Amino acid sequence: MRHEREWNEEQARLDRVAQKLRERIAELEPEVAGLHGQAGDIRKRFWEEVTVNTATDEDFEETFYSIRQQEALLSERERSHRLRLQQWKSMTRLLPSPYFGRVDFREHGVGSAEPVYIGVSSFVDAEGMDFLVYDWRTPIASLYYDHSPGPASYDTPDGAVRGDMELKRQYQIRQGRLLNVFDTSLTIGDELLQQALGQGADSQMKSIVATIQKEQNAIIRDDRSRMLIVQGAAGSGKTSAALQRVAYLLYKNRDRLKADQIVLFSPNPMFNSYVSTVLPELGEENMQQATFQEYLEQGIGSILSLEDPFDAIEYVLQMAGSPEHDARVEGIRCKASGAFLQALRDYAEGLGQSGMRFSGIRLGDRELIPASRMAERFYGYDRSIRLANRVAMLQEWLLQELAGLERKERGADWVSEELDYLDNDRYDAVHRELHKERGVFDFAEQYERIQEFVQNKRRRDEGDFDYAEREQELLAGAIVRERFEPLRRSVRRMQFVDMAGLYAQLFDPEQAYAALAEQAAAPRLWPDICDQTREKLARGELFSEDATPFLYLRELVEGMRTNTQVRHVFVDEGQDYSMVQYEYLRKLFPRARMTVLGDFGQAIFAQATELDGEDSPLMRLYGEADTRLIRLVRSYRSTREIVEFTKALLPSAKEIVPFARSGKKPLLIQADDSARLAARMAEELAALQAEGFASIAVITKTAAESREAHELLTKQGCPSLRLVTKETPTFENGTQVIPAYLAKGVEFDAVLIYDASSRTYQRESERKLFYTACTRAMHRLQLYAAGEWTPFLQGVEPSLVEEGGQTR
């Protein structure tokens, strides 16, 4: 900023705001601490304050009301404590850096321009009249993100407010001191962003609230779309925008949306720890986070053992060249396709006429209800009734049948034998049950008496409990009930439907996928795909790519178990999900809006879905009218040199625009063998560490290669080298060896590509994996090869890289 006078004015204002904040914090502090004590005290003394007396009905009633009153008092105190605590927390968060931006806006028809200071939460002076700081999520704050000085407008629930922005200013404030002030205009770049991007990588993602870009702001504040699709280049801030969007939604809908009504699907468990601090930093609670696999596991785990998607990708990357490999890859593609989705639907519809498979219900070695009886009953229902409804009817019938069978069973010989030989422990257990039953009975009696007193009405019947007479009967009942309980539970869980059998039947080459064959030619290698899938199922296992089709089929047959609580679903790395998975998510969360963020350039799984483009099926999932697509082409993560290089690796990456931040060109180093290469790599690692880079990754293609790299580099004396595997729970700073598919979504100061030779990266299908690995680098990128370079480097102009020489 130009003038000393202005600087002093800004510092003086900052001091004033900080002073007011301190006053408010000081005001709240004793209250916050005190109230907490009070609420705690009431809880502790809760039972001292109420006199529990149940001697007479009147006493009983009085006790009841006294508890209610005490409870109401407590919850009011707790609510007010929570509110003050929240205020106190947000003031404390503001104090070191109360705001980061200012716009002076003159609304049309209003005399003078109003300065609007923007920070991570709002701060109003004690009288409540003067907004000293506006929360970045308020409508007026969007001026700061969307406009440069000149004509500007912002949206409010009552329509657009138009006017002129006379000043736009950015601040860097640390510990209450003004470090920098930048006035921005059309021609001056975003200096705060420049500074933010120049910093090192961290083990936790940072909030970008002070430097949100206009296109990102559109993602954050979109309120209308049922489906928001973001196709954005590597490092364009998709994940950052998604997290800011969560914070925005929680703020805007604070009266009706809770953090646990938002779900973020993340690419791997480590990613969860990477993003977990962004929302708390913004004063919001974290949303639910899960990998899609964790969701699938919940549904399938009890039926079949599910393959991990990372094991699947390892298989695809490693076992190339064999006929089984080809069939598997073909199978992955086929099971992710829209045609397969349709085939599943057709198959389920066909089951309405024939082909349902049930599992008989057995008690020990006796078959109580055979599968054939269920099928007979099932196909006896009116065929116009939906499949899932008929299954529900069958379930109802089975429960009734079981109830009848259970009653009959009480007289069975085994029951009286068991009664005679009941061991002491079990006898006691049954007796305890009986006493409990009696307790409930006594309580019910007392309750009835009070009701009678309160409502002044007589009871319908006089209760009685003939203990002795019921004993035998109840004991027998309890023994049988205990035996029948697992049967009832399994019926309630629909386990009488043989889902594994039904799914396997779809891959019966004899009946040959009739539905699909009708629409199109059967997929390539279909008989092999069938064999592989059925063999796996016969072992009680399920391929990763079968998980969603399996659950989808189950929902078609048994009816959808929907989650109506969740209002927003975020899918990060969205290109790695198949259409079948999207369709499943849509059905699973019927009341949710969806935000999908991804980059088709980083599609590393064979089931990838194109996010944008004319015939992207994703655009039609919720109907085009409810769908909005936003493309991000500016890349913020890497230096200009790294972006120029990675752009050359992928034909579709041509339109990516690097942010103007310069660094060294990517370095290419070749050696005759791995040992020499590792020695050179160890030297470079030491040099990078000495330069002060805190987070460095040696990125490999597979887990096996990671182990090899870790061993070789450790032998070379690299200290504290961390080996990251799919089990690694958290993301940490330091130097690590990591397979590319686990490095998705995260970033490092420096990246070393362990083996960029043609031996490792040869197949065209692996180009995107290679691209993904290279785009993890923020400041430095080095590529190593023992032998010839991967063909992916062929299109790269020599001027874009620096040759590190041949290491012999």
Ligand X SMILES: Nc1ncnc2c1ncn2[C@@H]1O[C@H](COP(=O)(O)OP(=O)(O)OP(=O)(O)O)[C@@H](O)[C@H]1O
CA angle 222, 228, 234 (to 5 degrees): 105
- Cβ atoms 768, 650 nearer than 8 A: yes
Name the residue type at position 85: L
In angstroms, give the least distance from the CB of 239 to ligand X: 3
Give the nearer residue to ligand X in terms of CB position, either 603 or 703.
603
Q: Would the annotation count 153 as a binding residue?
A: no
Measured from the CB atom, the residue of 778 and 783 that comes closer to ligand X is: 778
Q: Closer to ligand X at the Cβ: 154 or 636?
A: 636
Interface with ligand X, residue 267, by CB under 6 A: no
**Does residue 601 belong to the site contacting ligand X (CB under 6 A)?**
no
Helix (H), strand (E), coil (C) string for 228-265: EEEEECCCCCHHHHHHHHHHHHHHHCCCCCCHHHEEEE
Site for ligand X (CB under 6 A): which residue of 153, 216, 231, 337? Answer: 216
Among 36, 89, 206, 377, binds ligand X (CB under 6 A): 206
* Position among 292, 600, 636, 761 found at the interface with ligand X (CB under 6 A): 636
* Nearest distance in Å: CB 109, ligand X: 33
Comparing CB distances to ligand X, the nearer of 232 and 299 is: 232
The residue (of 293 and 638) whose beta carbon lies closer to ligand X is 638
Q: What is the token pair recorded at 212?
A: 């949100």
CB contact set of 72 (below 8 Å; sequence gap of 6+): none
Handedness of CA 262, 263, 269, 271 (dihedral sign): negative
Q: Tell me if 240 contacts ligand X by CB under 6 A.
A: yes
Q: Which helix (H) or strand (E) holds 142?
A: helix 142-146
Question: Per-residue b/e over 449-479, b at no fewer than 16 CB within 10 Å?
Answer: eeeeeeeeeeeeeeeeeeeeeeeeebbbbbb
135 scored as a contact of ligand X (CB under 6 A) = no
> Is 72 among the annotated ligand-binding positions?
no
Nearest by Cα to 218 from 573, 562, 516, 631: 631
Residue 239 assigned to a binding site = yes
CA distance 448 to 454: 10
10 Å Cβ neighbour count for 407?
Answer: 11
d(CA 137, CA 617): 33
Q: How far apart are CA 469 and CA 416, in angstroms?
A: 17
Q: Is residue 646 near ligand X by the rule CB under 6 A?
A: no
747 near ligand X, judged by CB under 6 A: yes
Rounded Cα distance, 648 and 417, in Å: 81
Q: Determine the Cα angle at 506 with ends 500 and 507, to 5°.
A: 95
- 674 near ligand X, judged by CB under 6 A: no
User: Please, which residue, 193 or 478, has the CB nearer to ligand X?
Assistant: 193
For residues 193 and 279, which CB has a smaller minimum distance to ligand X in the complex?
Answer: 193
Q: In this structure, are residues 538 and 349 in contact, taking their beta carbons and an 8 Å threshold?
A: no
Sole window of 124-132, 206-214, 406-414, 441-449 interacting with ligand X (rule: CB under 6 A) = 206-214
User: How far apart, in whole angstroms, are the C-alpha atoms of residue 102 and residue 117?
Assistant: 4
Token reading at 96:
């070191």
Strand partners, 761: none
Burial 559-568 (b: 16+ CB within 10 A, else e): beeeeeebbb
Question: 697 pairs with which residues across the strands?
Answer: 736, 751
Decide whether 404 or 734 has the Cβ nearer to ligand X: 734
Helix (H, G, I), strand (E, B) or coil at 14: helix
Single-letter amino acid, residue 364: G
The encoded tokens of residue 41 equal 């005290």
Of all residues in the shown chain, the one whose CB is closest to ligand X is 237
Region from 38-46, 91-99, 203-211, 433-441 binding ligand X, contact rule CB under 6 A = 203-211
Question: What's the number of CA atoms in the CB half-sphere (13 Å) around residue 277?
Answer: 10
Q: Is the CB of 206 or the CB of 631 nearer to ligand X?
A: 206
**Choices 14-22, 205-213, 666-674, 696-704; region in contact with ligand X by CB under 6 A:** 205-213
758 is in an annotated binding site: no
Residue 277 CB, nearest distance to ligand X (Å)?
12
Q: What's the chain's length in residues?
A: 808
**Could you tell me which of 772, 480, 466 has the C-alpha nearest to residue 603?**
772
Stretch that binds ligand X, among 212-220, 285-293, 308-316, 558-566 (CB under 6 A): 212-220
CB of 207 to ligand X, least distance (A): 8
Using CB under 6 A as the binding rule, whether residue 640 contacts ligand X is answered as: no
Q: What is the DSSP letter of 313?
A: H
Stretch that binds ligand X, among 42-50, 228-236, 309-317, 377-385 (CB under 6 A): 228-236
Residue among 98, 119, 232, 331 that touches ligand X (CB under 6 A): 232
Is 238 annotated for ligand binding?
Answer: yes
Whether residue 262 contacts residue 288, with contact meaning beta carbons closer than 8 Å, is answered with yes
* Residue 234 lies near ligand X (rule: CB under 6 A): yes
Q: Per CB under 6 A, does 599 bind ligand X? A: yes
- Is the CB of 211 or the CB of 790 nearer to ligand X? 211
Output the CA–CA distances (angstroms, integers) from residue 143 to 313, 597, 598, in the order listed.
45, 25, 27
By CB under 6 A, name the one of 77, 637, 768, 780 that touches ligand X: 637
Instruction: Give the interface size with ligand X as a residue count (CB under 6 A).
Output: 23
Phi, psi of 650, rounded to the nearest 5 degrees: -135, 120
Query: Considering only 7-15, 109-117, 233-241, 660-668, which stretch makes contact with ligand X by CB under 6 A?
Result: 233-241
Ligand-binding annotation for 235, yes or no, is yes
Task: Say how far apart CA 805 and CA 782 lie, in whole Å.
Answer: 12
213 part of the interface to ligand X, by CB under 6 A: yes
Scanning 130-138, 152-160, 207-215, 529-537 for contacts with ligand X by CB under 6 A, the matching segment is 207-215
| Part of the chain binding ligand X (CB under 6 A), chosen from 204-212, 341-349, 452-460, 558-566 | 204-212
DSSP code per residue over 424-445: HHHHHHHHHHHHHHHHHHHHHH
Buried b (16+ CB within 10 A) or exposed e, 263-291: bbbbbbbbbbbbbbbbbebbbbebbebeb
Question: CB-wise, 371 or 657, nearer to ligand X?
Answer: 657
**Annotated binding residue 709:** no
Q: How far is the CB of 75 from ligand X (least distance, A)?
A: 40
Of 90, 153, 239, 609, which one interacts with ligand X (CB under 6 A)?
Answer: 239
Instruction: Choose, by CB under 6 A, the member of 235, 269, 574, 658 that binds ligand X.
Output: 235
Instruction: With contacts defined by CB under 6 A, name the span among 87-95, 119-127, 238-246, 549-557 that binds ligand X.
Output: 238-246
Residue 643 or 688: which CB sits closer to ligand X?
Answer: 643
Among 193, 300, 327, 348, binds ligand X (CB under 6 A): 193
Q: Of the candidates 701, 685, 627, 665, which has an alpha carbon nearest to the alpha carbon of residue 780? A: 665
Q: Is 767 in the site for ligand X (CB under 6 A)?
A: no
Kindly state the tokens that stand for 451: 């009701």
Q: Which lies closer to ligand X via its Cβ, residue 193 or residue 653?
A: 193
- Residues 6 or more apart whose CB falls under 8 angstroms from that of 646 comprise 234, 638, 653, 771, 774, 775
Q: By C-beta, is 147 or 710 nearer to ligand X?
A: 147
Q: Which member of 548, 607, 706, 775 binds ligand X (CB under 6 A)?
A: 775
The yes or no reply on residue 268 touching ligand X (CB under 6 A) is: no
Q: Where are the beta strands (DSSP E) in 445-528?
A: none
Rule CB under 6 A: choose which of 309, 523, 666, 745 binds ligand X: 745
Which lies closer to ligand X via its Cβ, residue 243 or residue 669? 243
Q: Minimum Å distance from CB 47 to ligand X?
A: 52
Shortest separation between residue 141's beta carbon and ligand X, angstroms: 15
Considering the complex, what minimum distance in angstroms separates the CB of residue 573 from ligand X? 7
- Binding-site members for ATP are 232-239
- Binding-site members are 232-239
Binding site for ligand X (CB under 6 A): 193, 196-197, 206, 208, 211-213, 216, 232, 234-240, 599, 636-637, 745, 747, 775
